[in-house]
Amino acid sequence: MQSNLDPFRPPDLVITNAVVAPCVTPRATPGLSAEIRRATMLVRDGRVVEVLPASDVRRSWADVAQIDAAGYLVTPGLVDSHTHPVFAGNRADEFERRIAGEKYLDIAQNGGGILRTVIATRAASDDELERLVRGRLARALSFGITTVEAKSGYGLDTENELRALRVLKRATSGQPVDVVPTFLGAHVFPREYRHDRAAYIEKIVKEMIPEIAFDGLAAFCDVFVDDGAFSVDEARTVFAAAARSGLKPKMHADQLSCTHAAELAAEVGATSADHLERISPEGIDALAKARVVAVLLPGAALGPGDHLVAPARKLLAAGVKVAVATDLNPGTSMTENLLLMGSLACMRYGMSPSEALYAITHAAANAVGLETRVGSLEAGKEADFVLWGVRSVAELFYHFGVSHAVRVWKGGREVTF
Ligand code: NIG
Ligand code: FE
Query: What integer pLDDT is reported at residue 6 of this predicted model?
Result: 66
Give the separation between CA 135 and CA 336, rounded to whole angstroms: 10
Same domain for 218 and 182: yes
39-53, 69-83, 125-139, 301-315: which has the minimum mean pLDDT? Answer: 301-315
* Residue 4: predicted pLDDT: 60
Mean pLDDT of 130-152: 98
The answer to whether residues 171 and 274 belong to one domain is yes
99 and 207 co-located in one domain = yes
- Asked if 134 and 203 sit in the same domain, the reply is yes
5: in domain:
no
* Residue 176 maps to a domain: yes
Q: Is 299 in the pocket of ligand 1 (CB under 6 A)?
A: no
Please say if the pLDDT value at position 155 is more than 50.
yes
* 166 in any annotated domain: yes
Is a pLDDT exceeding 60 seen at residue 213?
yes
Q: What is the pLDDT of residue 1?
A: 44
**Ligand with minimal distance to 301 CA:** 1
* Residue 206: CATH number of its domain: 3.20.20.140
- The pLDDT tens digits of the residues spanning 172-182 come to 999 999 999 99
In a domain, 2, yes or no: no
Does one domain contain both 112 and 34? no
Same domain, 221 and 315: yes
What are the pLDDT digits (tens) for 107-124? 999 999 999 999 999 999
pLDDT per residue as tens digits for the range 271-292 = 999 999 999 999 999 999 999 9
The overall average pLDDT reported for the chain is: 94
Regarding the beta carbon of 298 and ligand 1, being less than 6 Å apart is answered no
In this structure, the answer to whether residues 345 and 386 fall within a common structural domain is no
Regarding whether 284 and 258 lie in a shared domain, the answer is yes
Residue of the nearest CA to atom 8 in ligand 1?
331
The stretch 190-196 carries a mean pLDDT of: 95
Q: Count structural domains, the chain.
A: 2
pLDDT of 58 higher than 70? no
Residue-range definition of the domain harbouring residue 32: 13-76+376-415
* Strand residues in 307-410 grouped as ranges (E): 322-324, 385-388, 405-410
Segment 71-93 shows an average pLDDT of 98
Nearest 5°: CA angle at 161, between 157 and 164?
Answer: 145
* Same domain for 265 and 251: yes
User: Is 149 domain-assigned?
Assistant: yes
391 inside domain: yes
- Mean pLDDT value across residues 231-248: 98
Asked whether the predicted pLDDT for residue 32 surpasses 80, the reply is no
- Residue 358 Cβ inside 6 Å of ligand 1? The answer reads no
Residue 3 belongs to some domain of the structure:
no
In angstroms, how far is CA 237 from the centroid of its own chain?
25
Our mutation pick for probing the ligand 1 site, out of 329, 334, 335, counting the most ligand atoms within 8 A of Cβ, is 329
**Residue 61 sits in the same domain as residue 122:** no
CA 1 – CA 26 distance, rounded (Å): 25
Say whether pLDDT at 55 is over 70: no
Residue 218 falls within a domain, yes or no?
yes
How high is the pLDDT of residue 150? 99
pTM for this predicted structure:
0.97
Q: Is-contact 390 73, C-beta < 8 A?
A: yes
CA–CA separation, 323 and 297 (whole Å): 9
Q: Is 375 close to ligand 1, i.e. is its CB under 6 Å away?
A: no
SS3 of 49-117: the string is EEEECHHHCCCCCCCCEEEECCCCEEEECEEECCECCCCCCCCHHHHHHHHCCCCHHHHHHCCCHHHHH
**Residue 288: half-sphere exposure toward Cβ, Cα within 13 Å:** 15
Helix H or strand E encompassing 357: helix 353-359
